[in-house]
A and B are shown apart, each in its own frame.
Chain A
Amino acid sequence: MDDSRSLVTLAFVVVYLLMCVGVGVWALRRTKSPRDFFMAGRDLGVMVTGLALFSSQMSGFGFVGGPGLVYRMGLSSSWMTVIGPLAFCCSFYLLATRLRMIAELRDTISLPDAVAARYRSERARLLTAVAILLGVLGYLGTQILAMATVLRDVLNNVSFIPEVSILTCMVIACAVLVFYCVTGGIVASVYTDLVQGAIMIVAAVFVFFAALSAVDGGLTGLVTTLVEDDPEAVSPWGTLGMMGSLSWFVVFVLGSAGQPHVITKFMMNRRVEDARRTLPVSAGGYMLCSLLWLSIGLAMRALVIQGGHPELASPDEAAPQFLQFHASPMLAGIVFAGLFAAIMSTADSFLNLGAAAVVHDIPRALYGRSLSNELFWARVATVVLAVGSAIFVLYSRQDLVALLGAFGWGTFAAALVPTVAIGFNWKRATATAANVAIVTSLIVNFGIEVFGLAIPYGITGGFVALLLSTTLFFGISLGSPPPTIDPDIEAVMDM
């Protein structure tokens, strides 16, 4: 990369990181209680919640992993992203108003709080918190590693900066992340998400047009090149095939309603009725960002096949290489900042969820009360989780990190879709069914990953876990006597 291009990129990233620090300082004054730290005082407006929802869901995976998957498999992974509007609908129809109401009614500050209120079960609270914590550890490690990798690429491209190690980059990235998460809790997190979401949308739209113009013949030339090489790659199923790609459909649509870093934000809305205007913001923003996911992957695949770009060493290089060689310096700067934004917006949500599980949910389930001076311990837990995840990701086997990362989405989907998304809308659902669904999810997801079980047709393990846990949940609930529900919760469920 030439130096002026590298400097522009570096400038965008530095400005972005400074902005995060600034938001942290600003949010410090607004964070006075655990409810502020974990629930943003339940005072978020439509745009903040809407953009925070989609930017948390998109994550670094969408900006790096997504284009990489399209480069490698053609359109198979469009069943993860093109279905975005339907995924947000599932979350909103099932949970937006109900979770918000229960949050206010019971003054809950975490998802396991709401689960305990719904099922009148401390065991359900504990299992939910444990599932969240396990998923968080995996996700957080991969997000921190991704941040450090991107920062190292940016810094090492500037000629006058000496070679920077991954450890140094991890320290810098973690320091910024921890600073604004510790000072401002979820308040800082959602307001940085607001900026991050806006950057991601702008970046995605510009990249879409840049990708189409990078290939000879525009979209027609791109598709013709791909069809001549392999018509299956540009079919709706991609190279993975019909069953494999379709198995992502329900996992990413229904599974979206089980992602705690997304659905917890429903509890932070200022008003119940804000959900109405929040959905179009989230679904529209996600749809625009999907353009980046698809266009970079397809463009790089076509460029390599045409001979316009050397073959990539790894599919995950698709987005960085495209920006380096086929985008203007300004656009590369915006997208690198967008990439950082995507990673951080997910990481900060996970830090907050993990801290809530450690200082609030697990002690409450085990000892009947959360830690005293919860706000202080929440801040301590945030630091410990971030540093612990960074150390874990640096010194553990890389396949273990990848395993936990892959484990995250599938576990959340299989554990929390039945327990939360269905259970909060169906009064017959029992605590036993919820507990069985969570345990099944953990066993099946871990089992498939640890034992490397191959499922025919490339069907994803997360699909099997979700199908099994949800079917068991319905079966057990239908076969049990109706549970007792607290009258106020029942009244909310009847609305």
Chain B
Amino acid sequence: MKLPVVLFGLLVALCVVTNLAFLIEEVPFEDVAAPNGGLERIYNGHGITHPRFPSMNHGGDGPARHRPMLWLGWAFGLLQLAIIVGCLMLGVKRAGPVRLWLGGSGVVLGGLFTMMVVTYSGSLADQTPELFLSLPAPTAWFLYGFWPAEFLVVVLYVVLFSRSIATPDDLQRFREIVAARRAETGQPGQSGSA
């Protein structure tokens, strides 16, 4: 199947997951008296004002807000990652090592993201989570794992640039196209050619 079709499928899947977020009622919530005398439902699942410091937000009850929709968040994050990796692949015209390695990097990043979700799920039952290198486990997976792992994709670009992204043949062909275009349109030559 062609990559753009796969990407379109992933986008539609992300639309479905996002729509589920509209359909599944956010928790926790509270019903408060509205100015018109009725009741207004306030959703506290995405942060409340800190009880002691109004300039800060407070996350509230982690298990209450996240346990029912952890699977949805996991799917939401993984689909986004898949779309991002798919778009990176779209930028590489040749099927070959870069696309394979990009897929591998996507799997690594997806695995690290899954570990964040799994350890976060475990930490919901733990009032005082243990720290790993001074950070809670899910945050450690994020900052010590996911963050540096992004550089895999940077390294791929640098290492495989001449083999897969802009090969010497590409650059030669480009010079020929530019020369042909200039001859056709009568544009003067410019500095900064490939």
Nearest residue, chain B, Cβ from A249: B80
Known: A90-B87, A238-B59. A273 touches B194 (CB 8 A): yes
Which of A181-189, A306-314, A380-388, A435-443 binds B? A306-314
Whether B80 pairs with A74 at a CB distance below 8 angstroms is no
Chain A nearest CB, measured from B44 CB (Å): 10
CB atoms of B153 and A89 under 8 A apart: yes
Please tell me if the beta carbons of B116 and A236 are within 8 angstroms of each other in the complex.
yes
Provide the main secondary structure of the chain B interface.
helix
Interface 0/1 of A182-225, CB less than 8 Å to B: 00000000000000000000000000000000000011100110
Across the interface, do A457 and B84 meet the contact criterion of CB distance under 8 Å?
no
List A contacts of B166 (CB < 8 A).
97, 272-273, 275-276, 495
Q: A97 touching B165 by the CB < 8 A rule?
A: yes
> Beyond A94-B91, A239-B47, A276-B157, is A495–B5 a contact (Cβ under 8 Å)?
no
Given B47, B127, B134, which contacts A240 in the complex, CB threshold below 8 Å?
B47
Partner of B90, one of A247, A253, A313, A425: A425
- Is A93's CB under 8 angstroms from B150's CB? no
Interface string of B131-164 (1 = CB under 8 A from A): 1001110110111001100110110011001100
B158 and A475 contacting across the interface, CB-CB below 8 Å: no
Contact B157 A242 (CB under 8 A): no
Does A272 lie within 8 Å of B171, measured CB to CB? yes
Assuming A86-B84, A104-B192, A458-B47, is B73 touching A311 (CB within 8 A)? no
Please tell me if the beta carbons of B192 and A105 are within 8 angstroms of each other in the complex. no
- Is B70 interfacial (CB 8 A cutoff)? yes
Provide the residues of chain A in CB contact with B62, threshold 8 Å: 231-232, 235
The residue on A at minimum CB distance from B56 is A72
Inter-subunit contact A272/B157 (CB<8 Å): no
A228, B141: Cα distance in complex, Å: 20
Q: For the complex, what is the distance from the CA of A9 to the CA of B15, rounded to whole Å?
A: 49
Residue numbers in B under 8 Å from A458 (CB-CB) = 45-47
Report the stretch among A75-83, A355-363, A393-401, A407-415 that lies at the interface. Answer: A75-83
* A468→B25 CA distance, assembly (Å): 22
- Report A-chain residues with C-beta under 8 Å of the C-beta of B73: 237, 242-243, 246
Q: Which residues of A sit under 8 angstroms from B43, Cβ to Cβ?
A: 456
Q: Is A330 an interface residue (CB 8 A)?
A: no
Partner of B11, one of A74, A98, A467: A467
Please tell me if the beta carbons of A234 and B136 are within 8 angstroms of each other in the complex: yes
B55 at the interface (CB under 8 A from A): yes
